[in-house]
Structure 1
């Protein structure tokens, strides 16, 4: 088997199990959120969303860029791996106590006593998340993507079910708190079981920390900047506009992030573990083809969300979240460009160029935080979303330009050569879909249930958009369409052979 065949096989395995992991979790989270949104208020969601921003910061401090560094440095010994696990355990405990005592500051800053009781509880997430880093990274380094998928699904199902029961019984915000604690706690114990306790507990050596320090330092600084650029919106909105506003914004933002996490996230989770074992030329050739396909998926999802954001929000969250639909619509360009940009982290990590990744983070932080600050200053959630979308385009151009400059095999013209044709196809699809929506604005308005009628419209128009996209792509001979058609033909051919 050639190197290219082996790489494609490993990527396929990573994508398939990554798809199962992400989308099974997505379905569970959708179902749980649909239930919780009917029992909890925007303010209660806003409290947890605000605390989660702080949680993510402490997780960032605990992670220290270790995950990608462990994958990159394959020379680490078993004793050094155990030493890193011990360091994570000690750091997780320390960060938990620091976070819990910070409840006093949060109460004064946000002027809400609820943080006194919420933060010491939900802080357990930090401990579980930090100590999970080493065992989960070992599973990914060994390309055991199926194990990660199983762990994710079990954790989501159990924590989601308990949260729904608690919300129904009137526990309010604590349903969200315990959902997060149970999810991270189960995930920790399961990844340790799958990775093997013998690989985590035993004779240790602390020299591994020095080995990964150079790589992980720039990775940590990038994560640090990325954290603030991704979460400053919620902090600023909560402080200067209000918790109800951040609840409305966060529901739209999280929904917009789902395609990014569950399309680009599938690719990103597999890229470094697979690409790190192959040469730069082979990686560049593979990535060139991947970029345009992800861009196509981003445009397809973006068009659908732009046209039907009001119905999506109503079906998922019910009445009272109408402003979130407009915010979601404004975030559509952000989704399209960020879904491609999100994959570049795995490439920089594969190349061992985390310094360049950090430079991209500096540029992204400046543009994104400036956009958020301007929108908050003007007291408009819609402007925050629109300006973030503009910033994402600038970040996209800068990152691919730097990748082009730093690596001769990653030519910008080759990386982006298929995008104009894909953009043209998307404009054709958007035009036809706008006409269809104009002709049939509410084909199921006769139904008594608005939720059911909206769900039917989303389903019918979704299949219509898929058909139009495939037909237009076939006529225009679009490369991405031809690729996905070939994928669809394989299972259909197998079904036909079995029937014969």
Structure 2
């Protein structure tokens, strides 16, 4: 006990946290599922309207945008979510930092777009890169209201904003694609959707731009934010390296195949990570603030994530070829050869992201940055060598090897140094690991017995869904007990 609350009050705090997390998790899951279903359907349509090279041009712009988004708010959002006590005095300084950071990143991209596009092997993507950088500017305005909704676990309001932006994005993109706008349809739809999300975040959070400056709060955000920015930038670089190498060594068409494979590989990852990342940092920070056993809370969260993530990732890796053929058509078959490796790599990336949230929650952002640096230093040469030796498939499996053999072990080492007991995480992951093994065995049998791609995908999907549903039902109370336990 902390001595700040009576025993009953402290237990109620923890149970309240478990309930808020559970509600936030379900609403976040609904948010992610609705967004991904729409994106999935649109992706199928666009794959039949656009050439692989056009996807490659858009992918180039997304790489640049991702790198800029990694540091445009200079850690202000994370600082707002994590701060204990009354956060309102910090908000004007956070507004100033995030908006000026977004404006600076946008201006830098406008000037350097030709060099960036050429370096990524797609010089024709220059103007798309410049246009998509508008999202970076908009993100500077979304930082504070989005962080406040995350801090409050107000996922119902976040659902309204995100889903509205997704609907507008998909509608604009589909319309322009049918009219023959090519890669520009993707870029314009993305920016239009983001603009709507920003406006809705203002309305739904009750926070509009309110600029100010406090040296005390600037130091607080800066001291914490520099490490957060460095870590986030390294994460984005690690995620962007394969696209950079593909575009520069193999060309825009190969990048188009890679982009499609990467999107497919991220199906289970985006659903799980997109669901949890909106609530994980806030929950870990509040658990630490209320003196909840953070080891048990972390094990419960990661175990729940693994129940869906591991079987889903294994299914995509083993069903890559029939999935691409059934969903996107035969001309996209080259994407299947890289999909298997990327699906395995995506599993490692999600758990690395969860470890990052934990390190931020316990106040060890510098450790997280050093860990990401190890990942990046290993990934760059591995990807380049694999691309030259084995082409596109080599790039996918290089990501898998580095994620599993370097990124995950190094993150576990970092958590141990930060005081998190690794054994609690391993114990939490054991049930989902057994589920993944069972899924893999069943899928191998299906591949052996079925030669029809559609039947293979249908049976494999049913098996995977059954395993995930059973795992969720069987272990759904584990997280509640971990968060609500009064030590």
Q: TM class, shorter-chain normalised?
A: 0.7 to 0.9
Change (3 A) 1:286 1:113: closer
Of residues 249, 262, 267, the one that matches 1:258 is 267
Deviates more, 1:376-385 or 1:422-431: 422-431
Contact 2:117 2:129 in 1 (8 A): no
**Distance of 1:422 and 1:58 partners within structure 2:** 35
Deviations 1:113-171 (A, max 9, x none): 63343233222112112221111111111221111111111101111111101110111
Of residues 369, 374, 379, the one that matches 1:363 is 374
Change (3 A) 1:486 1:372: closer
Deviations 1:4-45 (A, max 9, x none): 312211210221111011111111111111111111111111
Matches within 5 A, 1:240-251: 240-251=249-260
**Distance of 1:200 and 1:365 partners within structure 2:** 36
2:423 aligned residue: 413
> Is the counterpart of residue 458 in structure 1 residue 467 in structure 2?
no
**Distance of 1:175 and 1:185 partners within structure 2:** 16
2:227 aligned residue: 218
Displacement of 1:421 in angstroms is: 5.7
**Distance of 1:109 and 1:337 partners within structure 2:** 28
Of residues 273, 284, 287, the one that matches 2:298 is 287
Displacement of 1:69 in angstroms is: 1.1
Total equivalences in the alignment = 466
TM-score, with normalisation over the residues of structure 2? 0.88
> Is the counterpart of residue 135 in structure 1 residue 145 in structure 2?
yes
Deviates more, 1:138-147 or 1:461-470: 461-470
* Larger RCO, structures 1/2 (Cα 8 Å, 6+ apart): 2
> Is the counterpart of residue 381 in structure 1 residue 381 in structure 2?
no
Contact 2:81 2:281 in 1 (8 A): yes
Displacement of 1:465 in angstroms is: 4.1
Displacement of 1:108 in angstroms is: 5.1
Displacement of 1:480 in angstroms is: 6.6
TM-score, with normalisation over the residues of structure 1? 0.86
**Distance of 1:262 and 1:100 partners within structure 2:** 32
Change (3 A) 1:465 1:115: closer
**Distance of 2:383 and 2:88 partners within structure 1:** 45
> Is the counterpart of residue 436 in structure 1 residue 436 in structure 2?
no
2:293 match: secondary structure = helix
**Distance of 1:465 and 1:251 partners within structure 2:** 22
RMSD: 2.6
1:129 match: secondary structure = helix
Deviations 1:292-347 (A, max 9, x none): 33233222112321232223223432331101112111223213333322211221
Displacement of 1:98 in angstroms is: 2.4
Change (3 A) 1:82 1:482: same
| Structure with the greater alpha carbon radius of gyration | 1
Deviations 1:168-208 (A, max 9, x none): 011111101101211211111111111224x5337664642
**Distance of 1:71 and 1:211 partners within structure 2:** 13
Change (3 A) 1:77 1:109: closer
**Distance of 1:52 and 1:270 partners within structure 2:** 25
**Distance of 1:431 and 1:31 partners within structure 2:** 29
**Distance of 1:435 and 1:111 partners within structure 2:** 41
Q: Any stretches of 5+ residues in structure 1 without a counterpart?
A: 443-452, 474-478, 488-500
Deviations 1:257-298 (A, max 9, x none): 232232133223212212322335522212222323323322
2:474 aligned residue: 482
Displacement of 1:109 in angstroms is: 4.3
**Distance of 2:93 and 2:478 partners within structure 1:** 47
2:97 aligned residue: 87
**Distance of 1:63 and 1:92 partners within structure 2:** 6
1:495 aligned residue: none
Contact 2:435 2:467 in 1 (8 A): no
1:63 match: secondary structure = coil
Change (3 A) 1:217 1:460: same
Deviations 1:236-255 (A, max 9, x none): 21111101111111211122
> Is the counterpart of residue 300 in structure 1 residue 311 in structure 2?
yes
Deviations 1:427-485 (A, max 9, x none): 3432233223322332xxxxxxxxxx72x653343223444777xx8xxxxx8762259
2:409 aligned residue: 397
Q: Any stretches of 5+ residues in structure 2 without a counterpart?
A: 1-10, 480-487
Of residues 263, 277, 280, the one that matches 2:286 is 277
**Distance of 2:55 and 2:30 partners within structure 1:** 27
Contact 2:76 2:98 in 1 (8 A): no
Matches within 5 A, 1:32-47: 32-47=42-57
